Amino acid sequence: MPDFIVSSETAGERLDLWLARQFPNHSRTEVQRWIKAAAVLVDGTPAKPSHRVEAAQCVSVSPPEVVLEPSLQAEAIPLDVLYENADLLVINKPAGLVVHPAPGHPGGTLVNAVMHRCPDIEGVGGEKRPGIVHRLDKDTSGIIIVAKHDRALRDLQRQFKNRTVQKEYLALLEGRLDQPHGRITAPIGRHPTARKRQAVYPNTETAGVREAVTDYRSEAVYSASISHTNAAGHFTLVRAMPHTGRTHQLRVHFAWLKHPIVGDSLYGYKKQRLNLSRPFLHAERLRFMLPSSGESVEFHAPLPPELAALLATLEDLPPGM
């Protein structure tokens, strides 16, 4: 642990600024992390980054050990590619496939698969998320775009930011909706106590809470016998059009309406009423402009077999029943 003595010439400076000069090969942000982690002691006591150093004070530093993240590896994972050109890939992602490496998922992701197909994509837009324009949850299936170079990435991200990309999902909901179509305008932010969940808030004044808007319309209403009860239940297939892209947006919005998505044990029933081990949520349609030509294109991904098979077991109810 190196020790430094504060000179009279530098007395009065902020601790983080003063310390950053002692470690010219490290950023001020990194130095601030050391201080907040109590790896920096001033006269034997932890201090804040804003602490003003005094002449003759002893500053002891024990930088945390740097743990290097493993580099991304290309993996020969099969991909269902709906479209490909020099700018991008349009992929039909299966449920269960994580989009990019993260804690707990260092490999076996969509990114690893794309790197095997397109080796030049490494580094496009970020080391750990090369080419990723938008996300789908691990257990959500359907259409996702991957950019092959930075210019295409910026163009596609701009389209998503400007809300000119048209997205449509199919979701099977618990119960029968009172309103067969409508708009949900309910801000979303991280749940105050459950780390893995998001929640609806009354407004966007709370830090981290952002506007979230979803349009929906009913496609069909079904009836089915519930396996662990003697009663029949109703279920509604909806087409959902999110205008924003918040984490878990559709799952949170429909749960907020008291009609959670079938198979979603995080926001819906802990004991599912239908036999489905993933949320019935599928990114079925995507419309956007090709970056190089500006041509408007639209892609569709059929329901995966497990979702189509579930629908086939339900009884389709005529309108009004």
Do residues 92 and 141 touch, judged by C-beta distance below 8 A?
yes
Strand, helix or coil at 117?
A: helix
Do residues 288 and 167 touch, judged by C-beta distance below 8 A?
no
Contacts of 122 (CB under 8 A, 6+ apart): 72, 115, 130
Please name the residue ranges forming H helices in 41-149: 110-117
d(CA 272, CA 136): 22
Nearest to 60 by CA among 82, 78, 38, 86: 38
Do residues 202 and 187 touch, judged by C-beta distance below 8 A?
yes
d(CA 32, CA 280): 44
**φ, ψ of residue 112 in degrees (nearest 5):** -60, -40
d(CA 148, CA 133): 10
Q: Is 139 a catalytic residue?
A: no
d(CA 274, CA 294): 43
d(CA 214, CA 188): 12
Q: 120 — alpha (psi -120 to 50), left (phi > 0) or beta?
A: alpha
CA distances from 305 to 234, 237, 280 (A): 22, 16, 12
Q: Nearest 5°: CA angle at 25, between 22 and 49?
A: 50
Choosing from 137, 139, 155, 264, which is the catalytic residue? 137
d(CA 189, CA 246): 8
d(CA 167, CA 293): 21
Q: Which residues are catalytic?
A: 137
